[in-house]
Structure 1
Amino acid sequence: MQSSQTASGTVKKALLVLDQVASFERPVRFHELLDGSPYPKGTLYRMLQTLRSEGMLSYDEMMQTYSLGIRLVRLAHTAWTQSSLAPVARPILDALSKSLGETIHLAQLDNAQVLYVDKRNAKSAIEMFSQAGKVGPAYCTGVGKAMLAFLPENELSRALELQSYHRFTPHTLGTEQELSAELENIRSRGYAFDREEHEPGIICIAMPILTQAKQVIGAISVTSTTSRTSLDQLETLAPKMQDAASDIARTAEHWRFPVEQKTKEPLEN
């Protein structure tokens, strides 16, 4: 029987390969994967064939390209409906979007990064990085900072260690000290801003979604551009955003969300 350590290593390799295929956001050839893979050619090929046989990847014989498989799509859809805030928040986001006419984001934390789980476009569309399903940095996005600010101390310490602090723009917070000071301001204010920290010209106000027990389960944001509005104008939307965040939290109060385990599961005999 395969040891638990070997099985764990195999699963990690498979997940890394799936992440790599997904990162291209298009069908990808073997040599492209090999160029960025930590695995030898033979190991990578075997992993791809196993994932393909299990329906996690599909392969186009004519184009000789790999892409994510239908089985993975089914699993992703199930995760979205069972573990994401998106189904719970949908009618509330719809109402907020109709009321404001601006771009609305819904996000959750995923391993100290931001996972965008839903989005409503503005009446006049804005080109930006964030799309539902994409993962972005927490330290330089409004939703990310709004969630980080209200994490328990032990979870926050771990999350801060995992930030990259790459300076995307001249406004990006570049150190843990800068971010910690910003998070303190967010706690006092109750909401966060993105001051062109991730993308030039893109600004937002973001509100954490907190349960009655003050557990962070997500965040929402209203995003615009410096050519259309200002942070002062966005700040006037805070009361409506707070109402929407509270509505989502109440609706989700009895919803089941996956929580990172604090202790290891007992091993089966």
Structure 2
Amino acid sequence: MALVEMVADAPEPLRFTDILNASGQPRGTLHRQLRHLLEEGLIETDRDGAYVPGLRLLRLASRAWSRNEFRKLAAPHLQVLHEATGETVHLALLRGADVIYLDKVEARQAVRMHSLIGNASPAYCTGVGKAALSTLTDEEVRGRLKGVAFERFTDSTHVDLVSLLSDLREIRQRGFAYDLEEHQPGIRCVAASICVAGQNILAGVSVTAPAYRIGEGVLDGWSGPLRAAAEAITRDVRAGLAPRR
């Protein structure tokens, strides 16, 4: 799995020597593991012999997405939120120090987001990520982000844990999170948390739009339908994923 992720996450196809140097595996062991992954269709080689993700991953990803109960229970509420705002709506799960985008309803406007379902982004600089983190205690946040290097994506990105924790305290008081061009220049969003402890679900739902189209006043105006959507998703997930008796 580490090799599959290495190949899938690489911005360019990887040569054998690239994987050998990055993995630290003995040459013979690495040859054997790559051969098995090729036989299973989890990786492939391009015309230059470099390794790329295999098409079988698409089939597995499609099944995981279509059968994910959390996503299916949330989907109607994402649509309602989209209709109320007209902008792009995201649903994302907190996994470690990142958020994984699980679903998206695209904006009706001409300029749209280029986010992709299945992509991961740092939790510390995204609206959905900060909303999810805000449901944790400061100590839990420190533990979850231990060892994370705070990369500065824009001039607004949190650069350390102290700054993030201060923001999270404001989010807890306010009830929703902002992303004011912290991850991508020119992109703003407002997000609310979804927490279903019994199902180990920490997530966020957000409304996102280009900064030129919205100010903080617009974001505040979306907080009502946003929080209503988050509460409805939480309620339905608790009911829908409750253990069968």
Within 5 Å, give how 1:1-269 maps onto structure 2: 15-24=1-10, 28-31=14-17, 33-34=19-20, 36-60=22-46, 62-83=47-68, 85-126=70-111, 128=113, 130-152=115-137, 155-211=140-196, 217-256=202-241
Structure 1 stretch displaced more, 151-160 or 228-237: 151-160
* Distance apart, 1:66 and its partner CA: 3.3
**Considering only aligned residues, what root-mean-square deviation do their CA atoms show, in Å?**
2.7
Structure 1 stretch displaced more, 193-202 or 20-29: 20-29
The TM-score with structure 1 as length reference comes to 0.78
Q: What do the CA deviations read for 1:77-127 (whole angstroms, capped 9, x no partner)?
A: 343345563222122212221231101111001122110111122122546
* Distance apart, 1:23 and its partner CA: 1.3
- CA spacing shift, 1:253–1:198, aligned 2, 3 Å: same
* Distance apart, 1:243 and its partner CA: 1.1
Whole-Å separation in 2 of the counterparts to 1:119 and 1:125: 16
Whole-Å separation in 1 of the counterparts to 2:175 and 2:147: 24
Q: Tell me, what secondary structure is at the counterpart of 1:136?
A: strand
Whole-Å separation in 1 of the counterparts to 2:122 and 2:110: 22
* Contact 1:204 1:231 survives alignment (8 Å): no
* Distance apart, 1:68 and its partner CA: 2.8
* Contact 2:128 2:206 survives alignment (8 Å): yes
Structure 1 stretch displaced more, 36-45 or 222-231: 36-45
Structure 1 stretch displaced more, 194-203 or 216-225: 216-225
* Contact 2:113 2:209 survives alignment (8 Å): no
Q: Tell me, what secondary structure is at the counterpart of 1:44?
A: helix
Whole-Å separation in 1 of the counterparts to 2:27 and 2:240: 44
* Distance apart, 1:202 and its partner CA: 0.9
Q: Give the letter for the 1:67 counterpart.
A: V
Q: Tell me, what secondary structure is at the counterpart of 1:167?
A: coil
The TM-score with structure 2 as length reference comes to 0.85
Q: Give the letter for the 1:97 counterpart.
A: H
- CA spacing shift, 1:47–1:150, aligned 2, 3 Å: same
Q: Tell me, what secondary structure is at the counterpart of 2:124?
A: coil
Q: Which has the higher contact order (CA 8 A, sep 6+)?
A: 2
* Distance apart, 1:25 and its partner CA: 6.0
Q: Give the letter for the 1:90 counterpart.
A: A
Unaligned runs of 5+ in 1: 1-14, 258-269
Whole-Å separation in 2 of the counterparts to 1:27 and 1:91: 38
* Distance apart, 1:18 and its partner CA: 0.7
- CA spacing shift, 1:98–1:35, aligned 2, 3 Å: farther
Q: What do the CA deviations read for 1:204-249 (whole angstroms, capped 9, x no partner)?
A: 1011113488975311111112211112211111110111111111
* Contact 2:106 2:113 survives alignment (8 Å): no
Percentage identity across aligned positions?
38
Kindly indicate which of the two structures has a greater share of residues assigned to helix.
Answer: 2
Q: Give the letter for the 1:247 counterpart.
A: A
* Distance apart, 1:16 and its partner CA: 1.6
* Contact 2:73 2:233 survives alignment (8 Å): yes
